[in-house]
Chain A
Amino acid sequence: MDQSSIDKLPKGWKSIPSDLGSDQTTFKGVQWGKAMMWIFLLSDTFIFSCFLISYMKGRASTVVEWPNPSEVFALDFMGVPVPLLLIAIMTFVLITSSGTMALAVKYGYEKNKKMCGWFIVFTALGGLTFVGMQAFEWSKLIHEGVRPWENPFGAAQFGSFFFMITGFHGTHVSIGVIFLFIFARKVFRGDFDTGKRGYFTTMKSDYVAIEILGLYWHFVDLVWVFIFAFFYLW
Protein backbone atom coordinates (compact mmCIF):
# COMPACT_ATOMS: atom_id res chain seq x y z
CA MET A 1 0.00 0.00 0.00
CA ASP A 2 1.56 3.31 -1.00
CA GLN A 3 1.75 6.35 1.20
CA SER A 4 -0.77 8.48 -0.72
CA SER A 5 -3.58 5.93 -0.26
CA ILE A 6 -2.68 5.49 3.42
CA ASP A 7 -2.97 9.25 3.86
CA LYS A 8 -6.59 9.03 2.70
CA LEU A 9 -7.53 6.54 5.46
CA PRO A 10 -9.06 7.67 8.77
CA LYS A 11 -6.55 8.83 11.35
CA GLY A 12 -6.30 8.64 15.13
CA TRP A 13 -8.64 6.42 17.14
CA LYS A 14 -11.03 6.12 14.20
CA SER A 15 -8.30 4.34 12.27
CA ILE A 16 -8.47 1.30 14.60
CA PRO A 17 -11.95 -0.02 13.72
CA SER A 18 -11.49 0.95 10.09
CA ASP A 19 -8.10 -0.80 9.82
CA LEU A 20 -9.24 -3.90 11.71
CA GLY A 21 -12.42 -4.13 9.67
CA SER A 22 -10.80 -3.56 6.31
CA ASP A 23 -9.95 -6.04 3.59
CA GLN A 24 -6.71 -7.95 3.15
CA THR A 25 -4.24 -5.93 5.21
CA THR A 26 -4.75 -5.00 8.84
CA PHE A 27 -1.48 -3.17 9.41
CA LYS A 28 -1.58 -0.55 6.68
CA GLY A 29 1.79 0.43 5.28
CA VAL A 30 3.59 -2.16 7.42
CA GLN A 31 5.56 -4.69 5.41
CA TRP A 32 4.53 -8.25 6.37
CA GLY A 33 7.98 -9.14 7.68
CA LYS A 34 7.89 -6.17 10.00
CA ALA A 35 4.43 -7.11 11.28
CA MET A 36 5.63 -10.68 11.91
CA MET A 37 8.69 -9.42 13.74
CA TRP A 38 6.42 -7.33 15.99
CA ILE A 39 4.24 -10.38 16.69
CA PHE A 40 7.35 -12.39 17.50
CA LEU A 41 8.64 -9.66 19.78
CA LEU A 42 5.28 -9.58 21.55
CA SER A 43 5.50 -13.32 22.22
CA ASP A 44 9.09 -12.84 23.38
CA THR A 45 7.81 -10.14 25.72
CA PHE A 46 5.52 -12.76 27.27
CA ILE A 47 8.45 -15.10 27.84
CA PHE A 48 10.63 -12.46 29.46
CA SER A 49 7.65 -11.24 31.49
CA CYS A 50 7.10 -14.76 32.81
CA PHE A 51 10.75 -14.94 33.86
CA LEU A 52 10.70 -11.54 35.54
CA ILE A 53 7.33 -12.18 37.22
CA SER A 54 8.48 -15.54 38.58
CA TYR A 55 11.64 -13.82 39.79
CA MET A 56 9.52 -11.17 41.50
CA LYS A 57 7.33 -13.81 43.13
CA GLY A 58 10.35 -15.88 44.17
CA ARG A 59 12.07 -12.89 45.69
CA ALA A 60 8.93 -11.61 47.40
CA SER A 61 7.99 -14.93 48.96
CA THR A 62 11.30 -16.19 50.32
CA VAL A 63 11.80 -15.99 54.07
CA VAL A 64 15.60 -15.89 53.70
CA GLU A 65 17.12 -12.50 52.96
CA TRP A 66 17.79 -11.74 49.29
CA PRO A 67 21.47 -11.10 48.37
CA ASN A 68 22.20 -7.37 48.01
CA PRO A 69 22.78 -6.92 44.26
CA SER A 70 24.86 -3.78 44.61
CA GLU A 71 27.35 -5.78 46.74
CA VAL A 72 27.17 -9.02 44.77
CA PHE A 73 27.78 -7.25 41.45
CA ALA A 74 30.38 -4.82 42.77
CA LEU A 75 33.71 -4.78 40.97
CA ASP A 76 37.07 -3.86 42.50
CA PHE A 77 38.50 -0.83 40.77
CA MET A 78 42.02 0.00 42.04
CA GLY A 79 41.27 -1.78 45.29
CA VAL A 80 37.95 -0.02 45.91
CA PRO A 81 34.70 -1.97 45.37
CA VAL A 82 32.49 0.05 43.00
CA PRO A 83 28.84 -1.06 43.06
CA LEU A 84 27.40 -2.37 39.77
CA LEU A 85 30.38 -0.99 37.79
CA LEU A 86 30.40 -3.75 35.17
CA ILE A 87 26.61 -3.71 34.83
CA ALA A 88 26.64 0.06 34.28
CA ILE A 89 29.27 -0.27 31.54
CA MET A 90 27.24 -3.11 29.95
CA THR A 91 24.15 -0.89 29.99
CA PHE A 92 25.97 1.95 28.27
CA VAL A 93 27.50 -0.41 25.69
CA LEU A 94 24.09 -1.85 24.83
CA ILE A 95 22.48 1.60 24.55
CA THR A 96 25.32 2.72 22.30
CA SER A 97 24.81 -0.29 20.05
CA SER A 98 21.08 0.48 19.98
CA GLY A 99 21.90 4.02 18.83
CA THR A 100 24.21 2.81 16.06
CA MET A 101 21.49 0.38 14.96
CA ALA A 102 18.97 3.23 14.71
CA LEU A 103 21.43 5.09 12.49
CA ALA A 104 22.01 1.97 10.38
CA VAL A 105 18.24 1.74 9.76
CA LYS A 106 18.15 5.42 8.80
CA TYR A 107 21.08 5.11 6.37
CA GLY A 108 19.58 1.91 4.99
CA TYR A 109 16.39 3.71 4.03
CA GLU A 110 18.52 6.43 2.44
CA LYS A 111 20.21 3.64 0.44
CA ASN A 112 23.58 4.67 1.83
CA LYS A 113 25.23 1.25 1.60
CA LYS A 114 28.55 2.11 3.23
CA MET A 115 27.23 3.96 6.27
CA CYS A 116 24.49 1.40 6.81
CA GLY A 117 26.95 -1.49 6.65
CA TRP A 118 29.49 0.09 8.96
CA PHE A 119 26.88 1.04 11.55
CA ILE A 120 25.62 -2.56 11.54
CA VAL A 121 29.22 -3.71 12.12
CA PHE A 122 29.57 -1.23 15.03
CA THR A 123 26.31 -2.55 16.46
CA ALA A 124 27.56 -6.13 16.21
CA LEU A 125 30.83 -5.18 17.91
CA GLY A 126 28.87 -3.54 20.71
CA GLY A 127 26.85 -6.72 21.09
CA LEU A 128 29.99 -8.83 21.19
CA THR A 129 31.48 -6.57 23.88
CA PHE A 130 28.29 -6.97 25.89
CA VAL A 131 28.29 -10.77 25.64
CA GLY A 132 31.99 -10.80 26.52
CA MET A 133 31.41 -8.79 29.67
CA GLN A 134 28.48 -11.00 30.57
CA ALA A 135 30.69 -14.08 30.24
CA PHE A 136 33.19 -12.38 32.56
CA GLU A 137 30.43 -11.64 35.06
CA TRP A 138 29.15 -15.22 34.96
CA SER A 139 32.62 -16.71 35.51
CA LYS A 140 33.29 -14.27 38.37
CA LEU A 141 30.06 -15.26 40.14
CA ILE A 142 30.62 -18.97 39.49
CA HIS A 143 34.11 -18.64 41.03
CA GLU A 144 32.51 -17.01 44.06
CA GLY A 145 30.30 -20.06 44.45
CA VAL A 146 27.00 -18.89 42.95
CA ARG A 147 25.06 -21.91 41.68
CA PRO A 148 21.47 -22.30 40.50
CA TRP A 149 20.71 -24.13 43.75
CA GLU A 150 22.84 -22.23 46.29
CA ASN A 151 25.02 -19.19 46.81
CA PRO A 152 27.06 -17.76 49.69
CA PHE A 153 25.16 -14.44 49.80
CA GLY A 154 21.59 -15.30 50.78
CA ALA A 155 18.40 -16.81 49.37
CA ALA A 156 19.11 -19.91 47.27
CA GLN A 157 16.76 -18.85 44.48
CA PHE A 158 19.07 -15.97 43.52
CA GLY A 159 21.35 -18.10 41.38
CA SER A 160 18.67 -19.84 39.36
CA PHE A 161 16.90 -16.58 38.54
CA PHE A 162 20.17 -14.87 37.72
CA PHE A 163 21.43 -17.54 35.35
CA MET A 164 18.03 -18.07 33.76
CA ILE A 165 17.20 -14.42 33.07
CA THR A 166 20.62 -13.07 32.08
CA GLY A 167 21.36 -16.29 30.20
CA PHE A 168 18.20 -16.05 28.13
CA HIS A 169 18.92 -12.40 27.43
CA GLY A 170 22.54 -13.16 26.54
CA THR A 171 21.32 -15.82 24.11
CA HIS A 172 19.17 -13.19 22.42
CA VAL A 173 22.16 -10.86 22.16
CA SER A 174 24.34 -13.63 20.71
CA ILE A 175 21.74 -14.57 18.10
CA GLY A 176 21.38 -10.87 17.28
CA VAL A 177 25.14 -10.52 16.79
CA ILE A 178 25.16 -13.45 14.36
CA PHE A 179 22.34 -11.92 12.33
CA LEU A 180 23.98 -8.48 12.42
CA PHE A 181 27.14 -9.90 10.85
CA ILE A 182 25.11 -11.78 8.23
CA PHE A 183 23.20 -8.63 7.32
CA ALA A 184 26.33 -6.46 7.31
CA ARG A 185 27.72 -8.82 4.67
CA LYS A 186 24.48 -8.63 2.69
CA VAL A 187 24.53 -4.82 2.84
CA PHE A 188 28.17 -4.53 1.72
CA ARG A 189 27.53 -7.05 -1.08
CA GLY A 190 24.74 -4.77 -2.30
CA ASP A 191 21.90 -7.30 -1.96
CA PHE A 192 19.49 -4.56 -0.91
CA ASP A 193 20.35 -2.32 -3.86
CA THR A 194 20.05 -5.03 -6.50
CA GLY A 195 17.07 -6.74 -4.86
CA LYS A 196 18.91 -10.06 -4.86
CA ARG A 197 16.68 -12.95 -3.80
CA GLY A 198 17.27 -14.27 -0.28
CA TYR A 199 18.75 -17.74 0.22
CA PHE A 200 16.00 -19.06 2.51
CA THR A 201 13.02 -16.90 1.62
CA THR A 202 13.68 -16.48 -2.14
CA MET A 203 12.11 -13.04 -1.66
CA LYS A 204 13.66 -9.89 -3.07
CA SER A 205 15.96 -8.16 -0.60
CA ASP A 206 14.80 -4.77 0.60
CA TYR A 207 16.21 -2.29 3.08
CA VAL A 208 13.11 -2.82 5.23
CA ALA A 209 14.97 -5.95 6.40
CA ILE A 210 17.41 -3.64 8.20
CA GLU A 211 14.53 -2.06 10.07
CA ILE A 212 13.22 -5.50 11.03
CA LEU A 213 16.67 -6.49 12.25
CA GLY A 214 16.77 -3.17 14.10
CA LEU A 215 13.45 -3.94 15.82
CA TYR A 216 14.92 -7.16 17.19
CA TRP A 217 18.08 -5.41 18.35
CA HIS A 218 16.19 -2.57 20.06
CA PHE A 219 14.01 -5.18 21.75
CA VAL A 220 17.11 -6.82 23.22
CA ASP A 221 18.09 -3.40 24.56
CA LEU A 222 14.55 -2.87 25.84
CA VAL A 223 14.59 -6.15 27.77
CA TRP A 224 17.92 -5.16 29.31
CA VAL A 225 16.32 -1.92 30.57
CA PHE A 226 13.85 -4.05 32.56
CA ILE A 227 16.45 -6.57 33.74
CA PHE A 228 18.74 -3.74 34.84
CA ALA A 229 15.93 -2.10 36.79
CA PHE A 230 14.42 -5.18 38.41
CA PHE A 231 17.33 -7.53 38.86
CA TYR A 232 20.32 -5.27 39.43
CA LEU A 233 18.90 -2.08 40.91
CA TRP A 234 15.83 -3.21 42.90
Chain B
Amino acid sequence: MTDNTDTNKEKKTTTHKIGIYLWIWGLLFVLSFFSYMVDWYQFQGLLRWTLILIFMFLKAGLIMAFFMHLFWERYTLVNVLLWPMTAIACFVGLMVAEGKYTVFTRFIYFVLGE
Protein backbone atom coordinates (compact mmCIF):
# COMPACT_ATOMS: atom_id res chain seq x y z
CA MET B 1 0.00 0.00 0.00
CA THR B 2 2.72 2.44 0.93
CA ASP B 3 4.39 1.71 -2.39
CA ASN B 4 1.18 2.51 -4.17
CA THR B 5 0.81 5.95 -2.57
CA ASP B 6 4.45 6.64 -3.38
CA THR B 7 3.96 6.00 -7.08
CA ASN B 8 0.83 8.12 -7.01
CA LYS B 9 2.86 10.97 -5.57
CA GLU B 10 5.46 10.52 -8.28
CA LYS B 11 2.78 10.72 -10.94
CA LYS B 12 1.47 13.96 -9.52
CA THR B 13 4.72 15.78 -10.26
CA THR B 14 4.84 14.78 -13.90
CA THR B 15 1.25 14.76 -15.09
CA HIS B 16 -1.50 17.15 -14.18
CA LYS B 17 -5.25 17.11 -14.57
CA ILE B 18 -6.45 17.98 -18.06
CA GLY B 19 -8.63 20.73 -16.58
CA ILE B 20 -5.66 22.94 -15.73
CA TYR B 21 -4.39 22.89 -19.33
CA LEU B 22 -7.84 23.66 -20.71
CA TRP B 23 -8.21 26.54 -18.25
CA ILE B 24 -4.86 28.05 -19.21
CA TRP B 25 -5.67 27.54 -22.85
CA GLY B 26 -8.97 29.35 -22.41
CA LEU B 27 -7.33 32.18 -20.48
CA LEU B 28 -4.71 32.61 -23.23
CA PHE B 29 -7.50 32.88 -25.79
CA VAL B 30 -9.33 35.48 -23.73
CA LEU B 31 -6.15 37.50 -23.11
CA SER B 32 -5.23 37.39 -26.80
CA PHE B 33 -8.72 38.55 -27.64
CA PHE B 34 -8.34 41.44 -25.19
CA SER B 35 -4.97 42.46 -26.62
CA TYR B 36 -6.50 42.40 -30.11
CA MET B 37 -9.31 44.60 -28.82
CA VAL B 38 -6.68 47.16 -27.77
CA ASP B 39 -5.99 47.68 -31.45
CA TRP B 40 -9.61 47.26 -32.53
CA TYR B 41 -10.79 50.15 -30.36
CA GLN B 42 -7.64 52.11 -31.22
CA PHE B 43 -6.71 53.02 -27.66
CA GLN B 44 -3.78 55.42 -27.84
CA GLY B 45 -0.93 56.67 -25.68
CA LEU B 46 -0.24 55.49 -22.17
CA LEU B 47 -3.46 53.46 -21.90
CA ARG B 48 -2.56 51.48 -25.02
CA TRP B 49 0.99 50.72 -23.89
CA THR B 50 -0.08 49.71 -20.37
CA LEU B 51 -2.79 47.38 -21.65
CA ILE B 52 -0.44 45.80 -24.21
CA LEU B 53 2.19 45.18 -21.53
CA ILE B 54 -0.28 43.80 -18.99
CA PHE B 55 -1.81 41.30 -21.42
CA MET B 56 1.63 40.38 -22.76
CA PHE B 57 3.12 39.63 -19.34
CA LEU B 58 0.01 37.72 -18.23
CA LYS B 59 0.16 35.55 -21.35
CA ALA B 60 3.90 34.99 -21.07
CA GLY B 61 3.56 34.15 -17.38
CA LEU B 62 0.77 31.64 -17.96
CA ILE B 63 2.67 29.91 -20.77
CA MET B 64 5.88 29.68 -18.76
CA ALA B 65 4.28 28.70 -15.46
CA PHE B 66 1.83 26.05 -16.65
CA PHE B 67 2.52 24.99 -20.23
CA MET B 68 6.29 24.93 -19.63
CA HIS B 69 5.73 23.51 -16.10
CA LEU B 70 7.94 26.11 -14.37
CA PHE B 71 5.31 26.42 -11.62
CA TRP B 72 6.12 22.84 -10.60
CA GLU B 73 9.91 22.98 -11.11
CA ARG B 74 12.40 23.42 -8.33
CA TYR B 75 13.40 26.98 -7.41
CA THR B 76 16.97 26.52 -8.62
CA LEU B 77 15.95 26.01 -12.24
CA VAL B 78 13.37 28.81 -12.08
CA ASN B 79 15.97 31.24 -10.69
CA VAL B 80 18.64 30.26 -13.19
CA LEU B 81 16.13 31.18 -15.90
CA LEU B 82 14.53 34.29 -14.45
CA TRP B 83 17.58 36.28 -13.28
CA PRO B 84 19.16 36.52 -16.76
CA MET B 85 15.77 37.72 -17.99
CA THR B 86 15.87 40.43 -15.34
CA ALA B 87 19.24 41.45 -16.77
CA ILE B 88 17.57 41.71 -20.19
CA ALA B 89 14.98 44.04 -18.65
CA CYS B 90 17.84 46.28 -17.42
CA PHE B 91 19.32 46.22 -20.93
CA VAL B 92 15.95 47.37 -22.29
CA GLY B 93 16.00 50.26 -19.81
CA LEU B 94 19.50 51.29 -20.89
CA MET B 95 18.53 51.21 -24.56
CA VAL B 96 15.41 53.32 -23.94
CA ALA B 97 17.68 56.04 -22.53
CA GLU B 98 20.15 55.59 -25.39
CA GLY B 99 17.35 55.78 -27.97
CA LYS B 100 16.09 59.05 -26.51
CA TYR B 101 19.60 60.51 -26.68
CA THR B 102 20.06 59.39 -30.30
CA VAL B 103 16.79 60.88 -31.48
CA PHE B 104 17.63 64.08 -29.60
CA THR B 105 21.00 64.46 -31.36
CA ARG B 106 19.42 63.59 -34.71
CA PHE B 107 16.83 66.30 -34.29
CA ILE B 108 19.49 68.81 -33.32
CA TYR B 109 21.95 68.07 -36.12
CA PHE B 110 19.87 66.65 -38.99
CA VAL B 111 16.46 68.26 -38.72
CA LEU B 112 17.23 71.64 -37.16
CA GLY B 113 20.65 71.75 -38.82
CA GLU B 114 19.11 71.84 -42.28
A residues near B (Cβ < 8 Å) are: 2-4, 6-7, 12-13, 15-16, 19-20, 26-30, 35, 38, 42, 45-46, 49, 53, 56-57, 60-63, 70, 83-84, 88, 91-92, 95-96, 98-99, 101-103, 106, 109-110, 211, 214-215, 218-219, 221-222, 225-226, 228-229, 232-234
B67–A102 touching, CB < 8 Å: yes
Given contacts A13-B75, A60-B96, contact A42 B35 (CB under 8 A): no
CA distance in complex: A53, B95 (Å): 7
Given contacts A49-B88, A222-B63, contact A15 B25 (CB under 8 A): no
Chain A residues near B106: list those with CB within 8 A: 61-63
Chain B residues near A38: list those with CB within 8 A: 77, 80-81
Instruction: Name A3's contact: one of B9, B21, B88, B107 (CB within 8 Å).
Output: B9
12 contacts between A and B (CB under 8 A): A2-B10, A7-B9, A28-B76, A38-B81, A42-B80, A60-B102, A62-B106, A95-B25, A98-B63, A211-B69, A226-B60, A234-B52
CA distance in complex: A28, B98 (Å): 41
Question: DSSP majority for the B interface?
Answer: helix
Instruction: Name B99's contact: one of A12, A57, A214, A233 (CB within 8 Å).
Output: A57
B residues near A (Cβ < 8 Å) are: 6, 9-10, 13-16, 18, 21-22, 24-25, 28-29, 32, 35-36, 38-40, 42, 48-49, 52-53, 55-56, 59-60, 63-64, 66-69, 73-77, 79-81, 84-85, 88, 91-92, 95-96, 98-100, 102-103, 106-107, 110-111
A218–B67 touching, CB < 8 Å: yes
B95–A233 touching, CB < 8 Å: no
Given contacts A45-B85, A102-B67, contact A63 B107 (CB under 8 A): yes
Chain A residues near B102: list those with CB within 8 A: 57, 60-61
Query: Taking CB as reference atom, which chain B residue is nearest A88?
Result: B36
A225–B84 touching, CB < 8 Å: no
Given contacts A4-B6, A98-B28, A222-B60, contact A229 B15 (CB under 8 A): no
Chain B residues near A101: list those with CB within 8 A: 67
B67–A98 touching, CB < 8 Å: yes
